Structure 1
Amino acid sequence: MMIYLDSAATAPMRQEAIDAYAEAAKKAFGNTQSLHDAGSAAAEYVASCRKIWGQLMNVRAGGIYFTGNASEANQLAIRSLLRGRPDKCRTIVSTKLEHASVLTTLHELEKEGYVIDWISVDRFGRVDMDEFKKKVSEETALVIMQLVNSEMGAVQPVEQCARIARTFGVPVHSDIVQGFGKLPVDLGAIGVTSAVCSAHKIGGPKGVGIAYLDPAAHWESVYEGTTHQAGFRAGTIDVPAIVSATIAAKLAVREQPHAYEHARQLQQYLVEHLPEGVVLTGELSSKSPFIQGLVLPHVEGQWMMLACNRHQIAISTGTACKIGFGEAMSAMLSMGIESDAARKFVRISFNKNTTEHEVEAFLQVVADSIANKTPESARLH
């Protein structure tokens, strides 16, 4: 049986979420846009789910929207907010630690005439707040600040950033995918304008992204003329998947304190048993314990991933959405880690069922690989 240490890429689906999907697929098969009773019944399911998500995030249910995934939700939320901003506001403030879906959107927006003002981060991946304060102004169109980095687990001061941005009337978008259900997340208190999370990171189904846009904020639809979800996203809503995602979210939030403490203990075990020469990225006291980025001494990350796979241990070399395209490399370089060291990066990530024995098995493979391989033989050619 495979040891699964890649929950930041996707978490195993909860049985309760699977059962909820099956039940909703039978009872709520109608199209929410249809005016007959089957459509109304499906629409009521979605309305109930919106209400629950609003409660879980401490925001108004009217600001909750469902998409096909968090990547799409990021793109739609960013573009919808920008379409609602004054023409004079053409600068976006963000960091190079964002998820691939955000970085891709930013590169597209740059080609469309926006200026991307990148904020520096320190060697632990934390944003430079002094620099942030200098760069945000009335001319800023949008601030984009991820809550938890998906490579090494750095937690950003999003609430502080949102407070500063509000003084200039600037909206803040936050990708909270790696934070929701793992850290205490109160969007009402954090004060962001929009946020995005993902069902399959918390034991729900793939194919469901959850977006929040503050109903008080001005935004304009990317899809002109669509009637679905107040114009936020076109297309028929996947009611069973949304119900399944909502059940997973309720369970994740309920389990969050216990799951966090469990992950913290696993992180401590990892630190105490790291093979010589292996470096843990991020600052232990402030990062998410669910995500562990490791830089190996002379073994390339891809090589180590394959070695682990041969031992039936699943790890990654970075975010699954951009494997092979250097997102981990981009994050490492922005933290001041040289490219040669960045190529030796691997990531493991925990869920509530991960055990110390599984972490120990991983560390044994790492230790054996480092001991048995010379720098030359531990590279992919």
Structure 2
Amino acid sequence: MIYLDSAATVPMRKEAIDAYVETANNAFGNTQSLHDAGSLAADYLASCKKLWGQFLNVRQDGIYFTGNASEANQLAIRSLLKGRPEHYRSIVSTQLEHASVLSVLHELEREGYEITYVPVDCFGRVDLDAYERLVDEETALVVMQLVNSEMGAVQPVEQCTKIALQFGVPLHSDIVQGFGKLPVDIGLWGVASAVCSAHKVGGPKGVGIAYLDPSVHWESVYEGTTHQNGFRAGTIDVPAIVSATIAAKHAVMEQPESYEHARKLQCYLIEQLPAGVIVTGDIKSKSPFIQGLVLPHVEGQWMMLACNRAQIAISTGTACKIGYGEAMSAMLAMGTESDTAKKFIRISFTKHTSSNELDAFIHVLNENQSTQKNRLPI
């Protein structure tokens, strides 16, 4: 199968699989145990935290591991809010956030928080002037993703963090679609918390990575939890964390080369697309790894099924949102009409994606566009 859905997940790297097997054999102990087997597992965990600190340019004692990035987002947001003064009940975010973030924001709204969404332009970029007007001394938290998972819009997280810090407001950033693909320097940006996902960079599913700045006050969501300084309950999966760390190491090393490859594929795709197909987002500033396309004559679901019949994997939006009625939330936030949003599809690249694979996709696109156009009533 031609796989053009890497924003949803990618295959595990061989190095990550080998690391998992080796660690599962050698460091199977519980990191909380006081005997040598537990100490060995704890040493492996400490090494992983040190490496993630280097990847993100942050203190290693701020690194935590969860069951996935969705859980990491929810825990980080709630942990930071619990550490804020109770009378601060205002949260500033965007409607382009990942489903895991939007769901916790909806929960918080029901709990009495006021959620204000910063407007975005037709390319999905936040309005910085509006953002500046929305953040003040009473803001509890800002939540701002780095890269949108549907059209690849890149938000000015560093600028937004600096504005928030003028008022002493922490900023949480979901950097899942950016880490390993774009240059990321969490320490320089000054965010209070950030979240990565192992399976987006060739690691195992079931590992999320959270960073919480140790200088920022936060409180545990789980009362009485001793694991990971109280951030998350449960025995730590050391083999999966080692596997995730090895995958991340390779992704970071390959990042400049991978980015340039994706940029060339983006240019090639745009040159080959049939007339009438619209590429969403600002080509000059968006992530080249994610291509949101709006079709003139075919609904996204139709095209996805047509591609699947041709053994080509694409999507109609973020996998975590499908089935929850929010797959087009980003498009609607950008001012796209709902009927047009239904014609949205997404393809996404890795360093292994080739122009020949794009040719096969474009052939199916051309075939189905022509068929549907001819069926339209005159």
Bin of the TM-score, shorter chain as denominator length? over 0.9
Q: Which amino acid aligns with 1:114?
A: Y
Distance 1:224 1:358, change over 3 A: same
**How far off its partner does 1:374 sit?**
4.1
Tell me how far apart the structure 1 counterparts of residues 256 and 332 of structure 2 sit (CA, whole Å): 33
Tell me how far apart the structure 2 counterparts of residues 112 and 325 of structure 1 sit (CA, whole Å): 21
3-state SS in 2 of match to 1:252 = helix
Cα deviation digits, residues 94-115 of structure 1 (max 9, x gap): 0000000000000000000000
Distance 1:170 1:376, change over 3 A: farther
Tell me how far apart the structure 2 counterparts of residues 234 and 135 of structure 1 sit (CA, whole Å): 35
Tell me how far apart the structure 2 counterparts of residues 48 and 296 of structure 1 sit (CA, whole Å): 47
RMSD between superposed Cα atoms in Å? 1.1
Tell me how far apart the structure 2 counterparts of residues 323 and 376 of structure 1 sit (CA, whole Å): 28
Q: Which amino acid aligns with 2:125?
A: R
Q: Which amino acid aligns with 1:286?
A: S
Tell me how far apart the structure 2 counterparts of residues 327 and 158 of structure 1 sit (CA, whole Å): 24
Q: Is the contact between residue 299 and residue 375 of structure 1 (CA under 8 Å) also seen in structure 2?
A: no
Segments ≥4 residues shifted beyond 3 Å: 374-377
Question: Are 1:163 and 2:162 an aligned pair?
Answer: yes
Equivalent runs, 1:1-381 vs 2, <5 Å: 2-374=1-373
Cα deviation digits, residues 178-201 of structure 1 (max 9, x gap): 000000001011110000000000
Tell me how far apart the structure 1 counterparts of residues 375 and 83 of structure 2 sit (CA, whole Å): 54
Q: Which amino acid aligns with 1:341?
A: T
Tell me how far apart the structure 2 counterparts of residues 307 and 337 of structure 1 sit (CA, whole Å): 24
Tell me how far apart the structure 2 counterparts of residues 235 and 327 of structure 1 sit (CA, whole Å): 31
Tell me how far apart the structure 2 counterparts of residues 333 and 21 of structure 1 sit (CA, whole Å): 41
Q: Which amino acid aligns with 1:57?
A: L
**How far off its partner does 1:326 sit?**
3.2
3-state SS in 1 of match to 2:153 = coil
**How far off its partner does 1:71 sit?**
0.1
Q: Which structure 1 segments of 5+ residues have no match?
A: none
Q: Is the contact between residue 316 and residue 347 of structure 1 (CA under 8 Å) also seen in structure 2?
A: yes
Tell me how far apart the structure 1 counterparts of residues 320 and 22 of structure 2 sit (CA, whole Å): 30
**How far off its partner does 1:375 sit?**
8.0
Tell me how far apart the structure 2 counterparts of residues 257 and 327 of structure 1 sit (CA, whole Å): 32
Q: Which structure 2 segments of 5+ residues have no match?
A: none
Tell me how far apart the structure 2 counterparts of residues 324 and 218 of structure 1 sit (CA, whole Å): 36
**How far off its partner does 1:376 sit?**
6.6
3-state SS in 2 of match to 1:173 = strand
3-state SS in 2 of match to 1:373 = helix
Aligned-pair identity (%) = 75
Distance 1:77 1:376, change over 3 A: farther
3-state SS in 2 of match to 1:260 = helix
Q: Is the contact between residue 204 and residue 248 of structure 1 (CA under 8 Å) also seen in structure 2?
A: yes
TM-score, normalisation: structure 2: 0.99
Tell me how far apart the structure 1 counterparts of residues 2 and 50 of structure 2 sit (CA, whole Å): 36
**How far off its partner does 1:242 sit?**
0.2
Aligned length: 377
Tell me how far apart the structure 1 counterparts of residues 21 and 358 of structure 2 sit (CA, whole Å): 34
TM-score, normalisation: structure 1: 0.98
Distance 1:229 1:299, change over 3 A: same
3-state SS in 2 of match to 1:236 = coil
